């Protein structure tokens, strides 16, 4: 794989300092949950940009009535990681609309911001990236593309169409991809499940600790076990919908992009 380019040097420098130079004391559980939640938040933001692309009067490439939306491997990132870490992309892949980059359908600052979305990465252990790739090739990439297309061809209010694409397309598709990735991993070498004693002399004791420890010493088995655990945390990340998918957040984002959005109940021109 060739070296991926960074689309924005200023943001690249900031992300490198924030994530490579600043110490982050988090457990593997917290890291996996954070990574999963960050992915969901980025997906929600991209769906908002899809709503901006379909808005009348915007500048950029013309949008066809029946766009073909695909998702391929990432092409750009803000920085690379070192050692046992890899720069794991937050989005499942690079969206294309009729084989064109989505930011080409916008101009100016909105185009720059959308392009940046596809370059955000986190420096995390290689097994996180491996778990990502398992889910992506088992359907997560297709779910991301399908959710983007659902917004592009939607005819309702943008807040509703974005929320429905997230909850009815992205979420079930991504969860199905995670489940398929888990099934694939379970066909690979894994440590034996813990066996607990049930008798009066060994109740609650781990009876196969030695066998399990020996299996864990094998690098392939350990990596499979760790990736399986990460997929479980990725699933748990869906228990908490991102703030970016809330109607007011969608409306605020579209207004900031100059795309406009439907007024929300109780909102007024003087509200900040």
Judge whether 30 lies within some domain: yes
Determine the Cα–Cα distance for residues 221 and 128; give it in Å rounded to an integer.
15
* Better pLDDT: 68 or 264: 68
Judge whether 268 lies within some domain: no
pLDDT band per the 50, 70, 90 thresholds, residue 8: low
Judge whether 115 lies within some domain: yes
What is the tens place of the pLDDT at every residue in 43-80? 999 999 999 999 988 889 999 999 999 999 999 988 88
> Which residues fall within 8 angstroms of residue 23, CB to CB, at 6 or more apart?
none
For residue 267, the model assigns a pLDDT of: 39
Cα 128 to the chain's mean position, in Å? 12
* Mean pLDDT calculated for residue range 208-217: 79
Judge whether 236 lies within some domain: yes
* Mean pLDDT calculated for residue range 36-47: 97
φ and ψ of 70, to 5 deg:
-130, 165
Residue with tokens 């695909």: 70
Alpha helices in 98-170 (DSSP H): 108-117, 126-135, 141-152, 158-164
Judge whether 120 lies within some domain: yes
What is the tens place of the pLDDT at every residue in 167-206? 999 999 999 999 999 999 999 998 888 788 888 888 888 8
Q: Give the domain extent around 45.
A: 9-256
Determine the Cα–Cα distance for residues 116 and 110; give it in Å rounded to an integer.
10
Report the number of distinct structural domains present in the chain.
1
pLDDT band per the 50, 70, 90 thresholds, residue 24: very low
Judge whether 132 lies within some domain: yes
Are 159 and 247 within 8 A, CB to CB? yes
What is the tens place of the pLDDT at every residue in 101-159? 999 999 999 999 999 999 999 988 889 999 999 999 999 999 999 999 999 999 999 99
Rounded to 10 degrees, what is the CA torsion of 60, 95, 35, 163?
Answer: 70
């Amino acid at each position: 794989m060739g070296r991926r380019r960074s689309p924005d040097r200023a943001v690249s420098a900031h992300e490198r300092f924030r994530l490579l130079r600043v110490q982050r004391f988090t457990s593997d559980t917290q890291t996996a949950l954070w990574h999963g939640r960050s992915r969901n938040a980025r997906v929600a933001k991209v769906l908002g940009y899809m709503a901006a692309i379909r808005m009348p009067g915007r500048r950029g490439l013309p949008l066809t009535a029946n766009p073909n939306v695909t998702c391929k491997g990432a092409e750009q990132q803000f920085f690379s990681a070192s050692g046992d870490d890899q720069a794991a992309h937050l989005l499942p892949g690079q969206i294309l609309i009729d084989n064109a980059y989505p930011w080409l359908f916008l101009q100016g600052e909105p185009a720059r911001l959308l392009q940046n979305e596809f370059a955000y990465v986190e420096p995390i252990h290689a097994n996180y990236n491996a778990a990502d790739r398992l889910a992506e090739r088992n359907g997560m990439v297709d779910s991301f593309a399908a959710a983007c297309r659902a917004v592009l061809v939607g005819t309702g209010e943008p807040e509703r169409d974005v929320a429905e694409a997230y909850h009815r397309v992205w979420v079930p598709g991504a969860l199905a991809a995670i489940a398929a990735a888990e099934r694939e991993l379970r066909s690979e070498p894994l440590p034996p499940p813990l066996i607990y004693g049930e008798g009066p002399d060994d109740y609650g004791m781990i009876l196969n600790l030695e066998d399990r420890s020996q299996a864990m010493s094998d690098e392939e088995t350990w990596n499979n076990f760790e990736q399986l655990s990460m997929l479980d945390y990725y699933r748990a990340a869906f228990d908490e919908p991102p703030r970016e998918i809330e109607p007011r957040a969608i409306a605020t984002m579209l207004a900031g992009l100059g795309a406009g959005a439907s007024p929300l109940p109780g909102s007024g021109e003087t509200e900040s």
